[in-house]
Amino acid sequence: MKKVMFVCKRNSCRSQMAEGFARTLGNGKIEVTSSGLEASRVHPGAIAAMDEIGIDIRSQTSDPLEQFHPQEYDAVISLCGCGVNLPESWVTRPIFADWELEDPDGKPAETFRRVRDEIKAKVETLIAEIAA
């Protein structure tokens, strides 16, 4: 089974939503982790946006990328344009993408919902590509 790392600046919003979608939609197809260039918290707005569609991400944790080993992952997805700040060992994994999605932190619930829906579409495509 392929292992996917979703990474963002603070592992608070976008990467947490991506992890939630990948765990749900990719259950039994991929393994998934998320992390950040720094750790913070799982954002209440991300929790609320995912709750609206029946995915509970409350038990997920915000973890720093440095706790993980790139060689253990097949795919690395940056959600914030932070790919340029990642160590080379992460961006040279077999699959690397930088989705560059808007940071919903500090913005209204509608922004969380829009970004959530953008993440869902991208995660669905990613699962279809790598789980085949």
DSSP letter (8 states) at residue 16: H
Q: Which residues are catalytic?
A: 8, 80
The predicted structure's pLDDT at residue 75? 97
The predicted structure's pLDDT at residue 57? 98
What pLDDT band is residue 132 in, cutting at 50, 70 and 90?
confident
What mean pLDDT comes out for the span 60-86? 93
Q: What domains are there in the chain, each with its CATH number?
A: 2-130 (3.40.50.2300)
Query: What does the pLDDT look like over 79-116, one tens digit per residue?
Result: 988 778 899 999 999 999 999 999 999 999 999 999 99
Q: Cβ–Cβ contacts within 10 Å for residue 105, how many?
A: 16
Cβ atoms of 62 and 11 within 8 Å: the answer is: yes
Beta strand spans in 1-132 (E)? 2-8, 30-36, 75-78, 95-98
Phi, psi for residue 12 in degrees, rounded to 5? -120, -45
The predicted structure's pLDDT at residue 121? 98
Kindly report the pTM of this predicted structure.
Answer: 0.96
Cβ atoms of 75 and 2 within 8 Å: the answer is: yes
H or E element, residue 109 = helix 109-130
How far apart CA 55 and CA 48 sit, in angstroms, is 9
Query: What does the pLDDT look like over 23-42, one tens digit per residue?
Result: 999 999 999 999 999 999 99
